[in-house]
Amino acid sequence: MQYAMFIKIWIFAISAIIGISLYFLVFRNVLKSYNLLDTNKSLKIKYQQYLNSVLIHAIGSEYWIWFDGKDVLVYGIPTGRICNDSYCTGSDSCKTKDDEESCKNDKDDCRWEKYEPVYIYDTTVNKPIGYQCAKPLYEIKSFYCCKNAPDEYIFVSNPNNIEYSMIDIINEFVKRKIININYKGDSVYPKGSSSK
């Protein structure tokens, strides 16, 4: 009787040792690779995707990254620049703010076009190559909303808490085959409304 109890205890102990070993040698690494463990050491990235474009927000940062299928534009980082807003007619012939009265008297349908300065990044050299005036962020968000692009999230393992650059984030999307930066087609943003 004691002999049977002794064997049961040894079987239980050996099973526990094997189970713990498997957890630390195999299963834990699988959980880490899927960012299910140590999530406090992961970068959480929210994005919306439409075709070969993506609007990205790294949670906890103040900037947004927009890959429009052609260019990488960064919103939320001060450029020190000002973009001139324009009045545009239905035929997209834009006039400056000084021509506001003539636009109001014009028979065409006039609308207010607002632009904001954004950095444009070169993915080959990993740095900004300047700024340009582009549609405001709220219009870009509205575009993805109209396309019924849901909010999605990815987690990027960051065990050493290194700071990810914008290009690192874009490269993560390329690695996961969410976007293709090598394809240099047209912007997915509607024609006549793309960045200025």
pLDDT digits (tens, 9 = 90+) for 105-129: 444 455 567 888 888 887 777 677 8
For residues 81 and 39, what is the distance between their CA atoms, to the nearest angstrom? 38
- Note down the domain range covering 12: 1-33
pLDDT digits (tens, 9 = 90+) for 14-57: 999 998 888 878 877 777 666 666 666 678 889 999 988 999 99
pLDDT value at residue 27: 77
Q: Mark whether 123 and 153 lie in a shared domain.
A: yes
Q: Mark whether 155 and 67 lie in a shared domain.
A: yes
For residues 60 and 78, what is the distance between their CA atoms, to the nearest angstrom? 17
Flag whether 182 is in a domain: no
Q: Mark whether 70 and 140 lie in a shared domain.
A: yes
Flag whether 188 is in a domain: no
Q: How many domains does the chain have?
A: 2
Q: Mark whether 29 and 45 lie in a shared domain.
A: no
pLDDT value at residue 149: 92
Q: Mark whether 15 and 73 lie in a shared domain.
A: no
Residues 59, 45: contact at Cβ < 8 Å?
yes
